[in-house]
Amino acid sequence: MKKAYWLMMLVIGFTISSCSSEQSLQEYYIASAQNPNFMSFDLPSSLLNLEKANLTQTELEAASSLKKLNILAFQKKPENEADYQIQKAAIKSILKDDDYSELMKMNTSIGKATLQLKGDDDTIDELIIYGDNDEKGLILVRVLGDDMNPASFVQLIQAMEKSDFDGKGLEKLGDLLKG
């Protein structure tokens, strides 16, 4: 009986020690929502008014796979420079994980951005858009859905262009991007 007890304790010990101590992107979102330097938004796909747009069958299928957008934005100010650098490094560390595949890097007039996905070639679990600007701050967007297909993102973008989404509810985010 004692051997079984110690064997069980040993197995539990190995199991606990083998768990990753690295923070997931979901855990980062939850923790950052408590940080006063961040603005956090969860937008349902219904806010995009895709159901009212005149969509093709392919665009409808792509739109139906979209569930919601998680947006996390950090507005940089002189008094939060140190926290900005810490948050920027933390996000980049999480996105370097093998779970994420980088699709594209962009250098624009408003900052640097990357587009990454989590999933396999057939189904995307989430699409990540990360951008930073050392003068304005950073933004992290998670696009979540069910059985999202990489090929359907073109149709999804076309569907969003046809919708009558006017940005209501995103005024604070717009203010952040303006500076």
Which string of DSSP letters, residue by residue, matches 94-163?
Answer: HHTSTTEEEEEEEEETTEEEEEEEEE-SS-EEEEEEEEEETTTEEEEEEEEEEEE-GGGHHHHHHHHHHS
Q: Please check whether residue 150 lies inside any domain of the structure.
A: yes
Q: Please check whether residue 76 lies inside any domain of the structure.
A: yes
pLDDT in tens, 55-111: 777 777 777 777 888 999 999 999 999 999 999 999 999 999 888 888 888 888 788
Q: Please check whether residue 112 lies inside any domain of the structure.
A: yes
| Paired strand residues for 71 | 41, 141
Query: For residue 79, what pLDDT is reported?
Result: 95
For residue 158, give its domain range: 24-178
Residue with the bigger pLDDT between 101 and 163: it is 101
Q: Please check whether residue 45 lies inside any domain of the structure.
A: yes
Q: How many domains does the chain have?
A: 1
Q: Please check whether residue 6 lies inside any domain of the structure.
A: no
Q: Please check whether residue 128 lies inside any domain of the structure.
A: yes
Q: Please check whether residue 39 lies inside any domain of the structure.
A: yes
Which pLDDT band holds residue 148 (cuts at 50, 70, 90)? confident
pLDDT in tens, 108-125: 878 889 988 887 767 787
pLDDT averaged over the chain? 75
